[in-house]
Each structure stands twice: as C-alpha cells, then as structure tokens.
C-alpha cells in the first residue's frame, strides 16, 4: 500500500469515527446510556460487559469485585487493596488517575493546547468568575481516561479542596480525533473546576474533570451531590475538604479527561509526554524546591526528621 493511500485510509477512518461519535444527538444518547447502565440485572450486565470487552482492552483483574449487578457498577468499580502504588515522596505530585497523557507543558500567557494548532485560554475553561492568575505561567497536563480504564480519581498530594465550580455544557467526544477538529472543545463540554491548595507551600492547584459523550455525570466525595443534568449554567460551591495523597476524590460515570494545572515552579516529571500511559499514583510533576525546604523544616520542628 502506498503512503498516500495509507493517509487517505487514516483520514477516512477518522471521518467515520467523528461522524459516529459526534454527529448524533449526543445528550440524548448520553442520558440513555446513563439510564441503561444503571439497570440492575445480572444477565444484562454480563452481556454488556462481554460486548464491551470485544471493542476495548477492559481488564478487571485489579478490581475489588469481579461480578457486577449493573454496567454502572463496572464503570465506577473500586480497586482491590494494593492495586496502585502511591509515590510518597513529598517532592512528587502524582497522577490523580489512570490515563494516557495528551497535550502537556507550560501555560504561556494564559493559553494551553488541546491538540496541535488548537489553543484555548484558561479563562474560558475555568469559568467566568474564576481568578486564573495563579496558573497563567504554570504547568499543565491533559490526562485522557479511555472507556476501559479505572474511572475514579484521587488526590495528587496532601492538601485541601477549597471550592468547586461546575459548568454545564455539551458532551462532545474527547478522543484525539475530535480534539483535532473541534476548537476549544474542553471549554464547550460539561466540566468541573476543583480548586485546591497542596503541599506545605499551600500551592494553588486545579483539577478540571471534563465530561464527554456517555459521561455526563461527575461525583465528588466532598459534596453531597452528583453534578449532571440537574445543574444548569455555572455553579460555585465552597468547601473545606482535607485529603491525603492518593485519597479518592470522586469518579466519572464512564471515562473522559482530567486537565491538571499547577502554578509556576512546578515541572513535569521525567517521562511525562504526549502518549505516555500512567497509573494513578505515579509521578506527574515535581514540586517547587522551596516548598520541599518548607516541608522539611516543618518536619524537623515537629521532630519528624
């Protein structure tokens, strides 16, 4: 097969993928999937999971339970104890989820990329009322969760969740094909901005879980609510939820994307690049050195070193 024919085939496959996952009534399909996935019937669940395995690399060997009463239970499955190793080094800011790394690097004048040639401003992603000055020259990583992955997300470091800004929106597919075709896609989809302070330096960090087709619900342990169709527009909720590195923060109903933002001084950990596969708890970023000195000084004062 000639190179030009290979290119034409790739473009054709991308066109078909885009049509099948985006040129459909996305919200209606997503709401139907939400209803169907919660049907509590063991036979429906088994058949659905069997079909799911045909099209994905679904691996349940690290799940806490192996039998599920609904597809939703499988989507939001918990891990068995010890299934993930959390890097406890205080210098390390870890991945909050299992993921494939998308675009990553440094925020330049408040802009980042969802795909090559497709920039967006963080003001558009974070919501109208949010002050984004802490991240204008910081560091970011886009983490994509495939449908077969573990869908819960965890704390990347010790810290406290201060507020959640939920923004209702569309449910475009967030796969690489759509990201190359739909400008500012992340800024159009349903999402939540989790503003937190982490580490001894109380660094301002933000996690932005972005929903997608089949995935229009986000659950957070810090708030007694499920963000989804019942919320419209932009909603801000204040909280004071303390957590430890690796502690579970919430989950998606299926799979999607989490974009991580850290302030100036953070840097990407070795091996973090587009296409890299991560497991929750692996190094994602390096903390600023002055924060480590602060941490060690505090530990010495407490007799911890």
Per-domain boundaries in the chain: 3-75, 92-286
The predicted model gives 2-11 an average pLDDT of 36
Q: What is the pLDDT of residue 86?
A: 97
The predicted model gives 213-220 an average pLDDT of 64
Residue 229 has pLDDT above 60, yes or no: no
Residue 228 has pLDDT above 80, yes or no: no
Q: Which residue has the higher pLDDT, 218 or 111?
A: 111
Residue with tokens 């790739």: 10
Residue 8 has pLDDT above 80, yes or no: no
Residue 194 has pLDDT above 60, yes or no: yes
- Residue 16 pLDDT grade (very low, low, confident, very high; cuts 50, 70, 90): very low
- What the block records as the tokens of 299 is 């530990």
Mean pLDDT (the chain) is: 80
- Among left, alpha and beta (phi > 0; psi -120 to 50; other), residue 127 is left
Determine the distance from the C-alpha atom of residue 291 to the mean position of all C-alpha atoms in its chain, rounded to a whole number: 25
- Residue 4 pLDDT grade (very low, low, confident, very high; cuts 50, 70, 90): very low
Q: Bridge-partner residues for 218, per DSSP?
A: 227, 252
- Cα(243)–Cα(154) distance, rounded to whole angstroms? 9
Q: Which residue has the higher pLDDT, 57 or 132?
A: 132
Residue 127 has pLDDT above 90, yes or no: no
Q: Is residue 256 within 8 Å of 142, Cβ to Cβ?
A: no
- Residue 28 pLDDT grade (very low, low, confident, very high; cuts 50, 70, 90): low
Residue with tokens 């342990």: 221
Highest average pLDDT, of 55-64, 198-207, 225-234, comes from 198-207
Q: Which residue has the higher pLDDT, 1 or 140?
A: 140
Q: What is the pLDDT of residue 293?
A: 39
Q: What is the pLDDT of residue 291?
A: 47
Assessment of whether the complete model's pTM goes beyond 0.95: no
- Cα(276)–Cα(8) distance, rounded to whole angstroms? 27
In the chain, pLDDT over 90 holds for what percent of residues?
43
Q: Which among 208, 133, 216, 130 is positioned nearest to 168, based on CA atoms?
A: 216
- Cα(163)–Cα(206) distance, rounded to whole angstroms? 10
Q: Is residue 244 within 8 Å of 155, Cβ to Cβ?
A: yes
Any idea of the CA torsion for 155, 150, 125, 170, to the nearest 10 degrees?
-150
- Cα(47)–Cα(5) distance, rounded to whole angstroms? 38
Q: What is the pLDDT of residue 231?
A: 56
Residue 132 has pLDDT above 70, yes or no: yes
Q: Is residue 266 within 8 Å of 287, Cβ to Cβ?
A: yes
Q: Which residue has the higher pLDDT, 142 or 181?
A: 142
Residue 7 has pLDDT above 60, yes or no: no
Q: Which among 203, 202, 205, 200 is positioned nearest to 292, based on CA atoms?
A: 200
């Amino acid at each position: 097969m000639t190179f030009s024919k290979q290119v034409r085939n790739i473009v054709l496959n991308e066109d078909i993928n885009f049509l099948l996952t985006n040129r459909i009534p996305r919200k209606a399909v997503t709401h139907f999937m939400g209803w169907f996935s919660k049907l509590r019937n063991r036979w429906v669940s088994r058949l659905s999971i069997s079909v799911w395995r045909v099209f994905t690399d679904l691996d349940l060997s690290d799940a806490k339970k192996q039998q599920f009463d609904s597809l939703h239970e499988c989507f939001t499955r918990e891990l068995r104890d010890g299934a993930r190793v959390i890097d406890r080094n205080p210098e390390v800011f870890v991945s909050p989820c299992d993921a494939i790394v998308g675009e990553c690097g440094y925020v330049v004048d408040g802009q980042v990329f969802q795909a090559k040639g497709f920039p967006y401003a963080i003001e558009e992603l974070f919501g109208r009322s949010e002050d984004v000055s802490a991240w204008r020259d910081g560091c970011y990583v886009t983490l994509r969760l495939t449908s077969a992955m573990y869908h819960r997300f965890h704390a990347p470091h010790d810290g406290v969740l201060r507020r959640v800004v939920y923004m209702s929106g569309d449910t475009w597919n967030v796969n690489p094909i759509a990201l190359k075709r739909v400008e500012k896609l992340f800024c159009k989809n349903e999402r939540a901005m989790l503003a937190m302070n982490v580490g001894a330096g109380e660094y301002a960090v933000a996690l932005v879980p972005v929903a997608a087709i089949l995935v229009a619900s986000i659950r957070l342990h810090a708030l007694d609510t499920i963000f989804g169709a019942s919320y419209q527009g932009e909603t801000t909720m204040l909280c004071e939820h303390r957590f430890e590195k690796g502690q579970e923060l919430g989950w998606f109903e299926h799979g999607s994307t989490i974009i991580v933002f850290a302030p100036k001084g953070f840097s990407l950990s070795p091996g973090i690049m587009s296409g890299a596969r991560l497991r929750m708890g692996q190094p994602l970023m390096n903390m600023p050195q002055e924060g480590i000195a602060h941490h060690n000084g505090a530990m010495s004062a407490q007799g911890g070193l």
